[in-house]
Amino acid sequence: MKSQPLWIPVDALRLFGVLHEPVTRARAAVVVCAPILHEYARSHRLFAVLAHELQVRGVAVLRFDYRGTGDSEGDDDAFSMRHAVRDAGKAIDVLRARFRDVPLIMLGVRVGALIAAAAAIEGRADRLWLWQPVVDGAAYLQGLREFEARERQSPMRYRIAKRADAIDDASLMGFLCSRDMLDELAGANWSDAGIARSSVTLLDAMVDGRSPAHARHVPLATELSAWAEQLDMTRIALGPIRALAAELADPVVGA
């Protein structure tokens, strides 16, 4: 079972990706739209392992870094929601070229759910798996601003000397962001318009009135849902990841 690192050309840049291709014929193909900022780093291992477990069950998975993130090319402030949608489109092209006749699924994680949904609206994905989707961009942004302010003042982070410099407006959770990106995030809201409810699987600890319309709800165990706040990176919960991979893969591979 092998994963294949690759470059995905987009505009004048290259995106870094990892393709998890099953040994036997793939029965479905998944593009992972990762979360952003600190959530990207915290969840990287979780989704690498989940991709591997889906691969074992006959599902091809492509994980990639948006431009300006991870190992992709571009400065940090090259990331924007608009560009991320374009990047996801290129990832779809790569997967479609290799796996023509299988259902294509977009797995959108947190803010990545908004990016994955854009592809679904364009009719380029057959199904949507939404993992703890961010539905209110302004509230999410506000929460991160408060989080960052606490971090800047934290005696656990700055043990000896307090930071004399003020918070940089262009910084979010320690990452350099463009003004465009911050504006886009503030204006991003979930909408069910244009998305077939029957195509949506919601992965979340619980469902409430603001959750996207969905046909199926897969409850997430605490080990898989607490990472957006705090993930213990030293211990990845392999058991729950395997169980979840089976729950997601079985219906699409016809097990």
Partner 1 sequence: MSIDHIVDLGDDRFGILSRSGEAADSGVCVILFNAGFIHRSGPFRLHARLSRQLADAGHAAFRFDAPGIGDSIGRSDQPLVKTMRAGMDALERQFGYSRFVVGGLCSAADLGWQVAIADPRVVGLLSIDGLARQGWSYRIARLRRALRKSPLRRLGSLLRRARTAPRIRVGDGDLRDWPAAGIERTQFASLVERGVEQFHLFTGGAGYFLSRGQFRETYGRAVNAASVVFHHWPQCDHTFFAESDRRALIRTIGDWMAQRFERYHGPPNR
Query: 107's torsion region: left (phi>0), alpha (psi -120 to 50) or beta?
Result: beta
Closer to partner 1 by CB, 28 or 51: give it. Answer: 51
Cα–Cα distances in Å, from 152 out to 162, 163, 228?
Answer: 8, 7, 19
Closer to partner 1 by CB, 130 or 172: give it. Answer: 172
Closer to partner 1 by CB, 145 or 152: give it. Answer: 152
Cα–Cα distance for residue pair 41/126, rounded to 1 Å: 28
Centre a 10 Å sphere on the Cβ of residue 253 and count the other Cβ atoms it contains.
Answer: 18
Minimum distance, C-beta of residue 110 to partner 1, in the bound complex (Å): 18
How does DSSP classify residue 9?
E
Cα–Cα distance for residue pair 67/233, rounded to 1 Å: 24
Closer to partner 1 by CB, 104 or 231: give it. Answer: 231
Binding site for partner 1 (CB under 8 A): 1-3, 5-7, 14, 16, 18, 41, 44-45, 48-49, 52, 65, 69-71, 73, 76, 151-152, 157-161, 163-165, 168, 171, 174-176, 233-234
Closer to partner 1 by CB, 157 or 210: give it. Answer: 157
Minimum distance, C-beta of residue 239 to partner 1, in the bound complex (Å): 16
Q: What is the DSSP string of 165-208?
A: SPPPTTEETTEE--HHHHHHHHH-B---TT--GGGEEEEES---
Minimum distance, C-beta of residue 4 to partner 1, in the bound complex (Å): 9
Cα–Cα distance for residue pair 35/84, rounded to 1 Å: 11
Give the list of residues 6+ apart from residue 34 with CB closer than 8 angstroms, or none: 40, 43, 44, 47, 63, 64, 65, 66, 69, 109, 112
Closer to partner 1 by CB, 77 or 183: give it. Answer: 77
Minimum distance, C-beta of residue 128 to partner 1, in the bound complex (Å): 25
Minimum distance, C-beta of residue 108 to partner 1, in the bound complex (Å): 20
Minimum distance, C-beta of residue 42 to partner 1, in the bound complex (Å): 9
Cα–Cα distance for residue pair 139/185, rounded to 1 Å: 10
